[in-house]
Chains A and B, each alone.
Chain A
Amino acid sequence: MAYERFESTPAGDPDSTALALKILVAGGFGVGKTTLVGAVSEIRPLRTEERLSRAGESVDDTGGVDQKSTTTVAMDFGRITIRAGLSLYLFGTPGQDRFWFLWDDLSQGALGAVVLADTRRLEDCFPAVDYFEHRKIPFVVAVNCFAGARAYGAHDVSRALDLDRGTPVVLCDARDRDSGKEVLIRLVEYAGRMHTARLLDTVG
């Protein structure tokens, strides 16, 4: 079938093979996810329409809700074109926990993730940190420096979050394009190191 044929020509043929890489932007409610995606890329909302019953499987607060109804979840979606045939796609995940099922879809095959944190409520990013650690998805923690929140250094945050050694912590201003770019660069560098290390692991 045509699909198979197409699929079985991996990165070999540079003319016909476009590469798409996926990066997730996660973090607690109102921490600046939309702002960050918008600062580094053209942003547009992406709608998913999900059966509530699916979403409700892991939580119990949907009792009594009509199982057949659907709920709309909006994600932030941005694209950065590196060159023809090489693009970076950014997905800002919804903040609420009840949308975990969306994360599973999003994180499959992702290059890595940015976990945005606000030092005034650091605990809001715990779920995201846990999620990516468990799934061995490379991530960086980007501390969004809201006014007056620059009291903590990257090291303090790293310790407070009990991050694995090597997990980068970057201070940033989500509104600033250069700052956002730097966060992404740190993530891509780190993801590269992680993938190389894993490759060596499986070889040796």
Chain B
Amino acid sequence: MDKDSTGEDPSPAGGRWYDAEAGPLVRPYAMTGGRTKPGPGNVRFDLIALVVVDDDPPGPAEESLLGPEHRTLLAQCRAETQSVAELAADADLPVGVVRVLLGDLLEAGFVKVSTPVPPAQLPDERILREVIDGLRAL
């Protein structure tokens, strides 16, 4: 603990607390309010699930209530439809954190998430043929 424990507000330098021994106490999951699992919808976002913006999103008033990380993710989704893995890599956030944040955005109706088609249920062989030809042409 800091020597200054007089019960005053955290210093301006803070907003974050540091412990010389343990390093930053603000763990990655702090930005999710400590939640490590997505909300009640209980969606498990696959790493390659694609996230698209909902075409009927909540209004600007609701959007202004979003935290900075939520907004960053939303902006990324607006720029381009991307997979959960890409969103995490670009935002430089751990996958687990991004899953929780996306769960919030999904529940609030800002985004939609596609569930990847399992390979065994691919519509036909043409797709794999296309992949093979595409790889050859790389």
Contacts and interface: CB of A to CB of B under 8 A. Distances in A.
B97 A49 contact: yes
A49 B119 contact: no
A11 B117 contact: yes
A48 interface: yes
Interface string A90-134: 010000000000000110111110000000000000000000000
B115 A7 contact: yes
A59 B81 CA distance: 38
A184 B127 CA distance: 15
A77 B85 contact: yes
Given A3-B106, A82-B131, A188-B128, A47 B47 contact: no
Interface residues of B, number: 50
B130 A83 contact: yes
Given A48-B94, A48-B95, A109-B46, A7 B114 contact: yes
B128 to A, nearest CB: 4
Contacts of B66: none
Interface of B: 27-29, 36, 41, 43, 46-50, 54, 56, 81, 83, 85-86, 88-89, 92-97, 106, 109, 112-123, 125, 127-132, 134-136, 138
